Amino acid sequence: MLDQLDLYDDMAQVGLVGRRSVTFKDGKQVGGRGWTKVVEGLTDTFFDFSLNIRLKYSEGILRRRNTELGGTVHALVRLVDMLLDENAEDEWKVTVTCADFAGETHRVRAKYVVGCDGGSSEVRRLAGIPFEGEDKEDHWVALDHGATRIGYALSPALFAKYGRKMSQEDAVKEAKAAMTPFEVEFETVDWHTVYGVKQHVAARLQDRERILLAGDAAHTHSSGSAQGMNTGTHDAVSLGWRLAGVLNGWYKPGVLASYSTERKVAADTLIANDRVISALISGHKPASSEIEERTPTHC
């Protein structure tokens, strides 16, 4: 998809290509696990590798391309209110109120609003779309330095010891312990985080025709299988051509309903897979009902 949009070449210049994967347990290499299976499954594409790229770099590339195509990004502007008047006589049925960084508010009338404002989406909240799912007890740690990421699950004992406010120093110390018997030295850590696993999916990705959700606003899950931005990109591509066609008068607005049904199925599948994957990474046995749910059509 990124290649079709002329984005892949720029990302390939920045990202790291991963063609192999190894898994170790207690210092010994074990086969057939984790990312190894994913890489083995990449057989029906020219892009038979993973491209590891930090989010800020992929965002920068997307922003540059958007500007080249004549788009404008109004950063530091926060949506604070949204009203949809279905009976409005013209096509500009949604009015959003935004606050800029100086606190000044601006009202904008729009034909459509796409809520791609992350897991705590204000658009989703203001539209009253339920975000169904659960917040797990499990917490994971990630440490990052552009090219390298170390992540591990916080066991209940470690979580009781450090909580969510685990310092970078402690995160590094436990990362080293987790790598035993191998030794790892840290030169620089750009950022670290402790985050709770949350699995939620919006009840619908389209509300009263004019309001649409995409990305984390529509679905959040663990980072276990690295699917968040991937799925958000699929949402954006799926919505982009439909919305452009509707706004240009080529398609009937009803085509947007197929975005919602198509991507809701993908989001539900993603969350169901993540329940199993994140349980395994956290060291729990997934509930058998969750495994049974995974029929070949979900793969």
Ligand X SMILES: Cc1cc2nc3c(=O)[nH]c(=O)nc-3n(C[C@H](O)[C@H](O)[C@H](O)COP(=O)(O)OP(=O)(O)OC[C@H]3O[C@@H](n4cnc5c(N)ncnc54)[C@H](O)[C@@H]3O)c2cc1C
Please identify which residue in 22, 30, 184, 226 interacts with ligand X, judged by CB under 6 A: 226
Distance CA 167, CA 18 (A): 30
- Region for residue 128 given its phi and psi (left: phi exceeds 0; alpha: psi -120 to 50; beta: otherwise): left
Distance CA 17, CA 112 (A): 37
Please identify which residue in 61, 114, 116, 271 interacts with ligand X, judged by CB under 6 A: 116
Smallest gap from residue 195 Cβ to ligand X (A): 5
Residues 63-102 that bind ligand X (CB under 6 A): 78-79
Please identify which residue in 122, 170, 209, 293 interacts with ligand X, judged by CB under 6 A: 122
How many chain residues bind ligand X (CB under 6 A)? 20
* Interface with ligand X, residue 115, by CB under 6 A: no
Tokens (6 digits) for 154: 């916080």
Candidate ranges 203-211, 223-231, 240-248, 264-272; the one touching ligand X (CB under 6 A):
223-231
* Interface with ligand X, residue 224, by CB under 6 A: no
* Interface with ligand X, residue 227, by CB under 6 A: yes
Residue type, 22: V
Distance CA 261, CA 282 (A): 31
Q: Between 231 and 270, how does the x/- string for binding to ligand X read (CB under 6 A)?
A: -x--------------------------------------
- Cβ density class 2-18: b for 16+ within 10 Å, e for less: beeeebbebbeeebeee
**CB 283, CB 155: distance < 8 Å:** yes
Of 168, 144, 188, 166, nearest to 55 by C-alpha is 144
* Interface with ligand X, residue 196, by CB under 6 A: no
- The residue ranges that bind ligand X (CB under 6 A) are 55, 78-79, 116-118, 122, 142, 193, 195, 215-217, 223, 226-230, 232
